[in-house]
């Protein structure tokens, strides 16, 4: 008897015969993939520059004027104390330290005054902004400072200032 020669065709036939036969009925086929959920609609966004709105609204301008008056008074006080020390030939080190401490105290007082003046205005601007966003059907309003580029028509700052000024918040 001659030895059996293995040919590629013979290998392919043997491999096909070794596979289990699948039934021809469609019921035995793998189940269809689940339907793909529709992607949610893209959110509607806008931007606002709250710091600019605060500076440009009428109440913000009034608050800024009050803060500037307080700043100028504090600065005049410090200038007077500094002038007095300069006129002394050898001011005592504790007097220089006291002047530096006074400067820090006045800076802290100014920062607290700024917070007192602006916090209620910012809350009012945010409430007005929420109303504006609801009316426009917006999903989010992003701070303008955190967006490197945005189309001008998406910026609500001017409209926010107009709306806020039209309310009691703008009349302070």
**Taking the domains of the chain in order of start, what are their residue ranges?**
45-171
Residue 28 DSSP symbol: G
Query: Token pair of 16, please?
Result: 């096909």
Pick the CATH number of 45-171 from 3.40.50.300, 3.30.910.20, 3.90.1640.10, 3.30.1330.60: 3.30.910.20
* pLDDT, tens only, 120-166: 999 999 999 999 999 999 999 999 999 999 999 999 999 999 999 99
**Cross-strand pairs, 48:** 143
d(CA 58, CA 171): 7
- The pTM of this model reads 0.67
């Amino acid at each position: 008897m001659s030895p059996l020669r293995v040919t590629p065709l013979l290998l392919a036939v043997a491999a096909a015969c070794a596979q289990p036969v699948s039934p021809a009925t469609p019921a035995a086929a793998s189940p269809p993939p689940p339907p793909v959920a529709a992607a949610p609609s893209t959110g509607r966004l806008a931007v606002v520059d709250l710091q600019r709105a605060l500076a440009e609204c009428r109440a913000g301008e009034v608050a800024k004027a009050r803060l500037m008056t307080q700043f100028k008074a504090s600065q005049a006080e410090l200038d007077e104390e500094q002038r007095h020390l300069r006129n002394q030939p050898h001011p005592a080190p504790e007097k220089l330290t006291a002047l530096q401490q006074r400067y820090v105290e006045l800076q802290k007082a100014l920062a607290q005054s700024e917070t007192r003046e602006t916090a209620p205005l910012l809350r009012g601007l945010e409430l007005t902004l929420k109303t504006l966003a609801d009316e426009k059907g917006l999903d989010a309003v992003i701070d303008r400072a955190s967006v490197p580029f945005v189309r001008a028509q998406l910026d609500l700052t001017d409209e926010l200032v107009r709306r806020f000024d039209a309310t009691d918040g703008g009349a302070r």
